[in-house]
Amino acid sequence: MAERSRTGNGDPMPRGTSMSRRRLFGLGAAAATTLAAGAAGAGIPAWATGPGGTAAATSQRRVPVSAWFDLEGPTSAQFVNAGLKDQRTIMQSFAVDSVGGHVYVVQLTQAGTTLPGDEPGDEEYARRNARGDLTMTKLDLAGNMLGHMYLKRFGHGVAIGVERTGQSVHLWTEVDAVTEGASGWGTRLLRFPFEDGAVIDAERDTGLQRRVLVPGVDRTTCNVDPAYRTLVMRYRRDGSFRYGLFRLDHVRDERDSYEPIADVAQPDVLIGTTFQGYATFGQYLYLLDGQIYNDSNPPEGRGNTHLTRVNWRTGEVEQRVWVTDFHELHRREPEGMGVWLSAPGQLKSARLGFAFGTSVTADPADDRLCTILYKDAPRR
């Protein structure tokens, strides 16, 4: 299940079109607007707007200077058609802990699943979806299943992150879902360890590590950059989506308030698209959109999936490409992004991952499976 982008964006770019790369280390004139007057009302700290205010609310000296992924570069597979705990619901997002050799994938909990604390009717899919009940599967790097847990009243699972600090590993997700339409969407963030077979009930369990990074917003989700130790949060304010970049070691601890090191609007090129995920690596934000194969998006057309790169320092789109890699896969619904280091500690080994919910055949009765692809060799 996906999220349709309606506001704060612009017409999608036609297939086969790629924006040329623009290396902008300063604040370009095209990006400059007078934002300072509205910054406080938008929840953006005054320090983050820069001299005179900019379209990207940014403290440039704090945004990491980094290499970037060429979205037209070759694509490889981490694994294809891996099985998940639930077979009847499609994956939503994933996160990779390359040090531990683990991949975490979330999906909506399928119908017929009975969990502790359930009331009559909770096992129905419509109830699970509306309440934001998720199943998290733990895999190895080859796609073999290692365990699972359940997350009740969390959200839709648009993005998740994994944080490793020494030997300690925690997941970051949305939590405290509110129903909008048929689905539940998170309103805060949560940090928690994986525990095989466990059930976390956001309504009933105490002592949970909630975080409110930006007050007064909803549809909050997050992802983690393990290379530069930052956390990106996507959120909605007044009907429009934005992305805030935070220092991971700052948001790990509970505080009265949190200050982003950058904050940018969702770019206009995503209007009219189906938003499917995002990730951050250093100086750049990466976005994923597209739809499952269907009558209006047939397999012979190789899909409508796109990847977009945004500069955190300016908020400008630097590259947008149509992704036709592995177009022969069945279903092929884009679902989530992630960044990891294939050789921990070595920035040159960074991989930009993006996933598809797939199946072995086009038969609707087939199991919903997980395919994770990636681009590597970041460039300067």
> pLDDT class for 58, splitting at 50, 70, 90?
low
Residue 215 near residue 259 (C-beta atoms within 8 A): no
Can you spell out the DSSP letters for 39-91? HTTTT--GGGG-TT--SSEE-TTTSPP--B--TTS--EEEEEEE--S-SSS-E
> pLDDT class for 9, splitting at 50, 70, 90?
very low
pLDDT at 50: 35
> Does residue 273 surpass a pLDDT of 50?
yes
Quote the CA–CA distance of 371 and 336 in Å, as a whole number: 11
What letters, b where the CB count within 10 A reaches 16 and e where it falls short, cover 30-68?
A: ebbeebbeebeebbbeeebbbeebbbbbbbbeebbebbb
Mean pLDDT for 138-153 is: 98
Q: Tens digit of pLDDT for each residue in 333-360?
A: 999 999 999 999 999 999 999 999 999 9
CA atoms within 13 A on the CB side of 222: 32
pLDDT at 3: 75
Contacts of 58 (CB under 8 A, 6+ apart): 27, 48, 50, 261, 262, 263, 264, 312, 313, 314, 315
Mean pLDDT for 149-169 is: 97
Mean pLDDT for 357-366 is: 97
CA atoms within 13 A on the CB side of 320: 21
> pLDDT class for 56, splitting at 50, 70, 90?
confident
Residue 125 phi/psi, 5-degree rounding, is: -60, -40
Residue 174 near residue 223 (C-beta atoms within 8 A): no
> pLDDT class for 194, splitting at 50, 70, 90?
very high
Quote the CA–CA distance of 166 and 333 in Å, as a whole number: 35
Mean pLDDT for 194-213 is: 98
> Does residue 208 surpass a pLDDT of 50?
yes
pLDDT at 57: 73
* CA 268 to the chain's CA centroid: 18
Q: Tens digit of pLDDT for each residue in 226-246?
A: 999 999 999 999 999 999 999
Quote the CA–CA distance of 236 and 221 in Å, as a whole number: 10
The whole-chain average pLDDT of the chain stands at 88
pLDDT at 47: 29
> pLDDT class for 326, splitting at 50, 70, 90?
very high
Mean pLDDT for 122-151 is: 98
Largest Cα–Cα distance in the chain?
59
pLDDT at 5: 62
The predicted model scores a pTM of 0.87
Structure-block tokens of residue 79:
């694994």
- 3 state DSSP class of 217: coil
> pLDDT class for 35, splitting at 50, 70, 90?
very low
Which helix (DSSP H) or strand (DSSP E) does residue 222 occupy?
A: strand 218-225
> Does residue 19 surpass a pLDDT of 50?
no
- 3 state DSSP class of 244: strand
Other beta carbons within 10 angstroms of residue 179's beta carbon come to 12
What letters, b where the CB count within 10 A reaches 16 and e where it falls short, cover 271-293?
A: eebbbbbbbbbbbbbbbbbbbbb
* CA 350 to the chain's CA centroid: 17
Task: Specify the higher pLDDT residue, 2 or 188.
Answer: 188
Mean pLDDT for 57-65 is: 78
Residue 169 near residue 162 (C-beta atoms within 8 A): yes
Domain ranges of the chain: 3-375
> Does residue 369 surpass a pLDDT of 90?
yes
Task: Specify the higher pLDDT residue, 4 or 95.
Answer: 95
Task: Specify the higher pLDDT residue, 223 or 10.
Answer: 223
> Does residue 22 surpass a pLDDT of 60?
no
Q: Which class is domain 3-375?
A: mainly beta
Q: Tens digit of pLDDT for each residue in 74-83?
A: 999 999 999 9
